[in-house]
Chains A and B, each alone.
Chain A
């Protein structure tokens, strides 16, 4: 096991972790502020990937297509999320958790069928612009060029989210509402609008995650399943509603998978799950403080 192989696995694991972080950050944000376990978060991720593909196709191979897709897809999923929140979800916040889970599960079924109607069952490929095709060599290990974009996107999203939550009025209100919803309400703040915005931000991140993976994988129906399960696992391991927890969980998940391959490729599938199970045994409420 040489240094090159370890570095290579570290970098590809990190890029996977960044995707997981972008998506699970959205999930945990909504969970923290609204207390809604959003089951259709995965569907929005899938829609983000399909929208990015459609936009890139519209540019007919022009390199700007990828960047336009990255810009349009999150906005589109945020709009879908906002629509669902204003029309339906806003009326259900006072219901018990089971109802909210059932509701978001229902929306997931509807969205997934809509995706099938709009984009059909065939899988799609988004070919990145030539400057991002192929791989660069890091200590003799091939690292896909596009993974450099992923490695940059993760920290940018983390910092942007932190600034939003701590430096903007809405962000501060959202955090306050997460801690004590009634108190914020009593202070004369329109909590409903804060919630709508927070939900849209969560959905924006799901779409961004989808658009970011689009050039690296098959864009297909069902791509939401795996990611949804992994995201929930990460959110639980990180501590419900905790953004840094989501980052820690994503790193834990992505890195144990890629480094596990160096140790025992045949059973690498099991590593991330074994590690998360171990973490939950030691810290049942997650790595970081839960917002709940």
Chain B
């Protein structure tokens, strides 16, 4: 009897020891995690840069309450002033002098691509959170660059499919002459020709970035013969606000169905008040009122408590970027950059719009897109999106094979 008890005790001890050895020992980081942010904090795009930073800050408050293996996440910011040259030298300073663990940025696609090349050479992880050029995680993607924002390939495909489904075949392309304008317009037309080979390009119009008066451009399209059945606009930010305002004044959207990526976005519609047209089709990857889930409601509530205004899409990207960083360091159990990259690949994080996966093959966050049309709503002093449809990220993202081929071609 006594011997049996001893044996049992011994077995229990061995089992306990095995379990203890199997469970990882507690890791404690010996210093804080430092994130270097390069973004535009002056000039018109500062609206987006500041919104993203607010979302990032809000997430850090949540993360630093418990910390990541005993460490806090700290950050420093640098103003690239919408210039790739300045942005690149800021990134260099952050890596070589400030010794940041992770680089984050920026609204400017050209800057993002420049920093991405530098990050690859230095083997520093770089997470792109606002700029939408598909080249970032596509043709010019690599081991050290990640994207937590939807991109022009996803937007172009989503809008091409939506317009093709509505039966339009004759299109006019109208866009602002800059990197994003070209990228999103080319992507839309490329996918349109794939979805609907008989699609016909009636004509196209391009204007300078910052063009204050778009009336001549839009009235010309309305007067053109033959008329297109639908118009795709490649523009964003303050430029898009001008497009929408002009459309409303001359009644453009009632005559010609129009689609613009991010036209339904709150950062665009809110400053316009009621000076925006109804019925413009658009896509975005974040809306503070949709989906109406507890997770989204909580994020919006916390954000408004901290910053008064509802979060725009950049705030959402800033918020999920911080959570991706924290989760990846938790999983990596190390401050080593290589192990951070490994941990971030395929990582799934709970976000206000549901679980989002960082696809391992191209480092692109698999964000859902929301498609809808602008409309008035008595609850808000500005236009919102109606008839919303959720398009899962995987439906509009290029396949891993597409990505591999694009990267090989680029090489």
Q: Is the CB of B212 within 8 A of A213?
A: yes
CA distance A15 to B300 in the complex (A): 43
CA distance A222 to B250 in the complex (A): 25
Q: Is the CB of A216 within 8 A of B271?
A: no
A144 in the interface, Cβ–Cβ < 8 Å? Answer: yes
Binary B-proximity of A150-170 (CB < 8 A = 1, otherwise 0): 000000000000000000000
Q: Is the CB of A8 within 8 A of B223?
A: yes
Q: Which residues of B contact A266 (CB under 8 A)?
A: 203-206
CA distance A93 to B18 in the complex (A): 88
CB-nearest residue of chain B to A121: B46
B215 in the interface, Cβ–Cβ < 8 Å? Answer: yes
Most buried by B among A5, A127, A133, A261: A261
Q: Which residues of B contact A146 (CB under 8 A)?
A: 249
The stretch of B124-132, B143-151, B237-245, B383-391 that contacts the partner chain: B237-245
The stretch of B133-141, B159-167, B272-280, B329-337 that contacts the partner chain: B272-280
CB-nearest residue of chain A to B48: A121
Contact of A5 among B177, B208, B223 (CB under 8 A): B223
A59 in the interface, Cβ–Cβ < 8 Å? Answer: no
Most buried by A among B44, B204, B224, B242: B44
CB-nearest residue of chain B to A113: B42
Contact residues of A between 10 and 31, Cβ < 8 Å to B: 12-13, 15-16, 19
The stretch of A77-85, A100-108, A223-231 that contacts the partner chain: A223-231
Q: Is the CB of B220 within 8 A of A262?
A: yes
Q: Which residues of A contact B274 (CB under 8 A)?
A: 127
CA distance A30 to B250 in the complex (A): 37
Q: Is the CB of A121 within 8 A of B47?
A: yes
Q: Is the CB of B245 within 8 A of A141?
A: no
Q: Is the CB of B241 within 8 A of A123?
A: yes
B211 in the interface, Cβ–Cβ < 8 Å? Answer: yes
Q: Is the CB of B220 within 8 A of A142?
A: no
Q: Is the CB of B216 within 8 A of A142?
A: no
CA distance A171 to B24 in the complex (A): 86
CA distance A223 to B43 in the complex (A): 9
Binary A-proximity of B325-358 (CB < 8 A = 1, otherwise 0): 0000000000000000000000000000000000
CA distance A164 to B61 in the complex (A): 62
Q: Which residues of B contact A192 (CB under 8 A)?
A: none
B207 in the interface, Cβ–Cβ < 8 Å? Answer: yes
A122 in the interface, Cβ–Cβ < 8 Å? Answer: yes
Q: Is the CB of A5 within 8 A of B220?
A: yes
B229 in the interface, Cβ–Cβ < 8 Å? Answer: no
Binary B-proximity of A111-130 (CB < 8 A = 1, otherwise 0): 00000100001111101000
Chain A nearest CB from B282 CB (Å) reads 17
Binary B-proximity of A52-81 (CB < 8 A = 1, otherwise 0): 000000000000000000000000000000
Binary A-proximity of B81-99 (CB < 8 A = 1, otherwise 0): 0000000000000000000
Q: Which residues of A contact B213 (CB under 8 A)?
A: 12, 15-16, 19, 213, 216-217
CB-nearest residue of chain B to A139: B223
Q: Which residues of B contact A125 (CB under 8 A)?
A: 241, 245, 271-273, 275
A residues near B (Cβ < 8 Å) are 2, 4-5, 8-9, 12-13, 15-16, 19, 116, 121-125, 127, 133-135, 141-147, 213, 216-218, 220-223, 225-227, 257-258, 261-262, 265-269
Would you list 16 pairs from A and B whose C-beta atoms are within 8 A, ordered by A residue?
Answer: A2-B223, A16-B213, A121-B41, A121-B50, A125-B273, A135-B251, A141-B219, A217-B242, A218-B241, A222-B43, A226-B211, A261-B205, A265-B206, A265-B224, A266-B206, A268-B217
